[in-house]
Structure 1
Amino acid sequence: MRARILIAGGWGLIGSGIAKVLREAGHDLDIVLAGRSPDTGRALATGLGASLVRLDVADPAEGLAAAGPVDLVIAALQDPDDTLLAAALRSGAGHIGITRTVENMASSAITAAACVRRPAMMLGHWQAGALTLAALSAARRFDTVDRVEMAALYDYADPIGPMTEADATGFVGEALIRQNGRWRKVPAPDAVRSVPRAGQAPFDAMPMGVLDTPALAAMTGARDVRFDLGSGESLGTSAGRAASHDLYIDISGRAAGAPAHHRTVVTDPLGQAHLTALGVLIGAERVLGLDGHPPPEGLVFPESTIDPDKAVARLRAFGVSIETLS
């Protein structure tokens, strides 16, 4: 049966990217692009063979009713009061949200657990879970994991949309890190670290409270886990191409009975919006069972629901470079 997916914020930078990769993936889907000004998305909808509906996230019931039954609502916008989340789940649709962080996800998780009929996936991880899944795949090389340090390099030549701009207000507040087996909240500006790069200058990065940190701590058992965000010249820009989005994953532990350390570098030559769209694609394929396996049930997270090696293969199929170094 043909699945119907509604993308709220469907003609924004992230939403339009999600719609495009859903089409590129080759699934037989009906796509509905939703937002407050449908005329803005008309050209995109025509090009993708999608339909349009007016939807206001502050009062989404009318828009959801106008769209008709959908299998999945993807919120590619801010939903600060969980109104779209609750309305989508109560309508019988599944839901994917990508904006919640450690600081503000409690209300969303409780709302989802109370209202869910079909899967609700929390994708408030960096690049909608792409980083976490790549890190979990890399961690499989280890018998035990002691430390996971993740960092993202943002290149100012890489465009961002209004949703990411709104997220940026929380980039320099308190951040949750795992240190010596204990959770700590640290002021981000007081916990800057330098991230080394082969053949390039290191960059300074501050910790940020995305869901990757608790995800990796839970799944690997590592006593030290953190995620940091910095800015600088990306690998793409350095090579004279368009700005890329670069992720650095450093894992230490034991492998084959000896101490081991590996670095994995993830680079999307099409930038951060494209990598986020791919993270959502992988999540949507899991929620809807488009990956060939039965859909999950209830409130779910990518780290416990998606096979990380298959996710890495999916990212590579869309042009993402993922290289592990000793």
Structure 2
Amino acid sequence: MPSKSEAVLIAGGYGVVGEQIAACLRRRYPELPLVLAGRSRSRGEAVAARLGHATATVMDVTRPHPLGEPIPRAVIGAVNDPGDHLLKDAIRLGVPIVDITRWTARVRASARAVAGLAPRSPVLLASGWMAGLASVAAVAASRPLQRVESIAVSVLYALQDRAGPNSAAYMDRLATPFEVMQAGTRQTVLPFTDPRRITFPDGQVARVYRFDTPDQLLLPRSTGAASVAARIGFDSAATTRILALLVRSGLWKRISGERFTDLRRALLFHPGPGASHQIVIDADGLDPSGEARSVRATLSDPLGQTHLTAVGALVQLERLLGLDGAAPSPPGLAYPDSAPQIQAARRTLERFGVSMTLA
């Protein structure tokens, strides 16, 4: 039998998000051993040396059976796993795994794959916005309502925020229609349509447009919401208008594909030193007395979206392993919005400087 370790392995552990996940884990659990996995041992070793109580290992998730020995206590997938090799290997070995890298279509495909493998350990697909934190906040906003009619998730993306390649890849899909739940039925909508004006926690007012996130697939199941919509806008009104024009005119679709990747990145991918990332979630419905009620939750991280994603991954790992005071997640497939530990999540967010309000 392969030997086992108490370490948490982070696939992509020296990337933009992976390194911040490792730093959050080290701050929260100073003695927890970490393994930083990726294709470059030297880069991993440099990060491991700064963290302490950490090692680096070479891993290629594009090949079958990427997990070697010793078997880790848990895995956080912070790098794209296009062939599901890391996901399937964790299931094969009975290792709990949190994955934060999949867009909606891939969440669906991976869920089907997981269901056919009968996992002996928990598999948490936490690829919703900011490692599922938007869904956690949406569940919190929905709980005072006896019946949830609609949930709206609005995101303000700062152009000077730090960003990794996965963030840019997300924007590459802006020409792809996607499904949402609207008035109780599945409907296909187009990206960057149906705008709304939203006031964000810092007072900025921005126009936000529809975009695809797994939260829209999952929240109707967990909350019973008849309609769920996610929208995004940028802290530059001009950039938001230009992108909306490109998408609606069909020009963004014409420059899709690998041939024009550099052009799309030149238009949108200008990562800076960091800027606040803000999310507003509005839940509308009926309270227990039958009266119409609206509940608003907000998330705001002054250190930006990569830091918020890292803290989200920490929240999901704590839930997975029972480090939040609740029982560990049972074997099988789970999502951030299914039975989240709201109060424990809020305590972790506060510890890392993330503001979560509920009104």
TM-score greater than 0.5 by the shorter chain: yes
CA distance in 2, matches of 1:196, 1:314: 25
Question: Aligned match of 1:290 in 323, 331, 335?
Answer: 323
8 Å contact kept, 2:5–2:72: no
Cα distance, 1:152 vs structure 2: 0.9
SS at match of 1:210: coil
8 Å contact kept, 2:200–2:279: no
Higher strand share goes to which structure?
1
Alignment of 1:99-110 (within 5 A): 99-110=101-112
Alignment of 1:223-302 (within 5 A): 223-232=226-235, 243-255=275-287, 257=289, 258-295=291-328, 296-302=330-336
Q: Partner residue of 1:208? A: 211
Q: Partner residue of 2:193? A: 190
Listed one character per residue, the Cα deviations across residues 247-306 of structure 1 (whole Å, up to 9, x for unaligned) are 011121223532222322210111101111111111111222222333221111121142
In the alignment, does 2:91 pair up with 1:57? no
Q: Partner residue of 1:120? A: 123
SS at match of 2:212: coil
Distance change in 2, residues 1:172/1:321 (3 Å): farther
Matched residue type, 2:281: I
CA distance in 1, matches of 2:213, 2:168: 15
Alignment of 1:29-40 (within 5 A): 29-40=32-43
In the alignment, does 2:94 pair up with 1:92? yes
SS at match of 1:127: coil
Q: Partner residue of 2:220? A: 217
Cα distance, 1:52 vs structure 2: 0.5
Distance change in 2, residues 1:260/1:280 (3 Å): same
8 Å contact kept, 1:5–1:31: yes
Moved more, 95-104 or 49-58: 95-104
Distance change in 2, residues 1:199/1:23 (3 Å): closer
Cα distance, 1:27 vs structure 2: 5.9
Question: Aligned match of 1:141 in 134, 138, 144?
Answer: 144
Matched residue type, 1:281: L
Alignment of 1:7-18 (within 5 A): 7-18=10-21
Moved more, 212-221 or 245-254: 212-221
Listed one character per residue, the Cα deviations across residues 21-64 of structure 1 (whole Å, up to 9, x for unaligned) are 11111264211001011111222101212100011111153x52
Moved more, 69-78 or 256-265: 256-265
Cα distance, 1:180 vs structure 2: 1.0
CA distance in 1, matches of 2:202, 2:127: 32
CA distance in 2, matches of 1:199, 1:44: 33
Cα distance, 1:200 vs structure 2: 4.3
8 Å contact kept, 2:282–2:296: yes
CA distance in 2, matches of 1:60, 1:29: 28
SS at match of 1:204: strand
Distance change in 2, residues 1:172/1:159 (3 Å): farther
Matched residue type, 1:323: T
TM-score for both structures, normalised by structure 1:
0.89
Task: Structure 2 unaligned segments of length 5 or more: list them.
Answer: 238-272
Cα distance, 1:208 vs structure 2: 2.4
Matched residue type, 1:302: P
8 Å contact kept, 1:103–1:209: no
CA distance in 2, matches of 1:93, 1:267: 32
In the alignment, does 2:75 pair up with 1:47? no
Distance change in 2, residues 1:34/1:289 (3 Å): same
Q: Partner residue of 1:237? A: none
Cα distance, 1:169 vs structure 2: 1.5
SS at match of 1:29: coil
8 Å contact kept, 1:8–1:75: yes
Distance change in 2, residues 1:38/1:130 (3 Å): same
How many correspondences in the alignment? 317
8 Å contact kept, 1:175–1:207: no
SS at match of 1:322: strand
Listed one character per residue, the Cα deviations across residues 41-92 of structure 1 (whole Å, up to 9, x for unaligned) are 222101212100011111153x522x42112121101111111211222133
Matched residue type, 2:93: S
Cα distance, 1:213 vs structure 2: 1.6
TM-score for both structures, normalised by structure 2:
0.82
Task: Structure 1 unaligned segments of length 5 or more: list them.
Answer: 235-240
